[in-house]
Structure 1
Amino acid sequence: MPFIVLDIQLVVQGILYLASFVLGFAVSIPLGVTTINFGGQCILYGDIKWQNATFFKYTPTDMHNCNFAIYLNVFGCIFYSLGMVIYHGYALTRKDPNIGSQMWVMPFILVNALMTVIIFISSCMISVGFKEFCDGLLSGNEKGAHVKSCADGQKPSWNWNKYGTNYTTDTYYTYLAVTQTATWISFLVWSVQVTLGIIRFIRNRRLRSKDQFHDPSPSMNSSDNSKTPEDLENFASVQPSA
């Protein structure tokens, strides 16, 4: 059986797209379930005002704060990454070690760079919103509530529904911690993806330049190795591979 040489960078990029696909679920599902558990209300940036050691008033925030991250990960990370996994998988089935130089590069660098920036913004929104919600719970210590951590609100002794709500609060901290961790890992994965795309672009450009300037026939004036103005003009006209 002949030994198949694969483009290692292409394999790595395919794995990273697969990781982004999985992380998209790890971000959107816990955040979406938490939203459902809180009566279809976004918990991020939720305002908690303590009246005394046993009573507080919770005010939910705008759903856009949660929907932005959910839709971004569903349509950006999950669907786009799945398409790129299929695209890279198909390229690898060609069993051509030079297939990477024949693929589009620049369009995906731009898309991936945009995804990286947007995911960074989304990650900051999740982390800041989560912190503000937890800070509201912990502020109960000023009223004598003795709240040790944000996860205390998950305990059965905390009956959020006695204030006229219908919340399921036994998993919110766990789910949001998973969402927060996954979204920052996703940001790192997309950052690496952009870096690999730039490396691919540079490699393809150098390869194309080398092929264009390779002269298969010996020059009639082999003794003259100096660059002429025409040579320099041709060099400037080389188009980068994309």
Structure 2
Amino acid sequence: MPCITLDVQLLVQTFLYVANIVIGLAVAVPLGITLGDFNGQCILYADIHWHSYIHVSYIPSSVVNCRFSIYVSVCLCVLYGIGMTFYHVYLLTRKDPMIGSKMWVFPFIVVNSVFAFVTFISSCIISVGFKTFCDGLLKGREKGHIMESCAYGERVKWNAYKGDYRTHNFYTYLTVTQIATWSTFLVWVLLIIQGIIRFVKNRRLASALDLGNFAASEPSA
């Protein structure tokens, strides 16, 4: 049985796309659960109001702030990542030792760069929105509440206008989301670097082959 030639750089890129799928889910799922726990209201950038040292309500921000990050994670990280994983697995199973030099590179560098920029925006929305929300919770100290940290807000009784809010895990979920979203941005950067390395490597290989063909050609005169 012939041995399949393994392209290490191609294998690394495959693992990075798989990692992006997993991390993308770690962004979308906790953020989506938090959105559901607050009756479809986005707590990123929410305006907190303390009525007393034990009761708090808030004005939610636009739901777009949450849904944008969820859509970015699902579409760019998960769906695109699945497609690219299958594509790279297909390339890895090819018996052509020069398959790395024949694959498209520059278009993926451009696409991944755009996705990295969009992910950066999404990550900033999550981080800044989460901090704004936590800063509002910490203002409870002005009402005499012993608000030790933002995580302590999971124990506070909230006033809900539409049903009951499930606030017992919001800090945990948003912390996971925040770590995961910046991790996806890092993965995109690594994919861009991998693509640039592959592009330079292929250019050098093409130049070497051209020089070799020129040296091997017979003189015309």
What TM-score results when the alignment is normalised by the length of structure 1?
Answer: 0.85
Of stretches 47-56 and 146-155 in structure 1, the one that deviates more from structure 2 is 47-56
Pick from 169, 172, 191: which aligns with 1:174?
172
Equivalence for 1:188: 186
Larger CA deviation: 9-18 vs 49-58: 49-58
Instruction: Answer yes or no: is 1:66 the counterpart of 2:66.
Output: yes
Equivalent residue, structure 1, for 2:92: 92
Aligned to 2:149: 149
- Equivalent in the alignment of 1:207: 205
Aligned positions of 1:2-151 closer than 5 A: 3-151=3-151
Question: 1:109–1:198: 8 Å Cα contact kept in structure 2?
Answer: yes
CA distance in 2, matches of 1:16, 1:188: 10
| CA displacement 1:47-87 (0-9 Å, x = unmatched) | 10223322333111100100110001111110001000000
Evaluate the alpha carbon distance shift between residue 3 and residue 94 of structure 1 in structure 2; reply closer, same or farther with a 3 A threshold: closer
SS of the aligned residue for 2:131 comes to: helix
Offset at residue 143 of structure 1 (A): 1.7
8 Å CA contact 1:91, 1:99 repeated in 2: yes
Amino acid of the residue matched to residue 174 of structure 2? L
One-letter amino acid of the structure 1 residue matched with residue 175 of structure 2: A
Paired with 1:162 and 1:65, the residues of 2 have a C-alpha distance of 20
Contact 2:38 2:167 in 1 (8 A): yes
Offset from partner CA, 1:12-63 (integer Å, 9 cap, x none): 0010000001111000000001001100011111110223322333111100
Q: 1:54 to 1:87 in 2, by over 3 A?
A: same
Pick 1 or 2: higher relative contact order, CA cutoff 8 A, min separation 6. Answer: 2
Which residue identity is paired with 2:187?
V
| Number of aligned residue pairs | 219
Name the SS of the counterpart of 2:116 in structure 1.
Answer: helix
Structure-1 separation of matches of 2:112 and 2:7: 20
Identity level (%): 53
Q: Secondary structure at the match of 2:59?
A: strand
Q: Contact 1:46/1:58 (CA < 8 Å) preserved in 2?
A: yes
Residue 162 of structure 1 deviates from its aligned partner by 6.4
Distance 1:170 1:199 in 2: 46
TM-score by length of 2: 0.93
Query: CA deviation digits over 1:148-191, x for unaligned, max 9?
Result: 01111222xx2225666421111111100000000011111110
Query: Cα offset for 1:4?
Result: 3.9
Return the index of the structure with the highest Cα Rg: 1
Q: Provide the aligned C-alpha RMSD in A.
A: 1.7
Structure 2 unaligned blocks of 5 or more: none
Name the SS for the 1:48 alignment partner: strand
The letter for the 1-side match of 2:166 is T
Q: Is the 8 A contact 1:32 1:70 kept in 2?
A: yes
For residues 81 and 163 of structure 1, the distance between their equivalents in structure 2, rounded to whole angstroms, comes to 40
In structure 2, what residue type is equivalent to 1:96?
Answer: D
Q: Which amino acid is the alignment partner of residue 121 of structure 2?
A: I
CA contact (8 A) 2:10 2:88 kept: yes
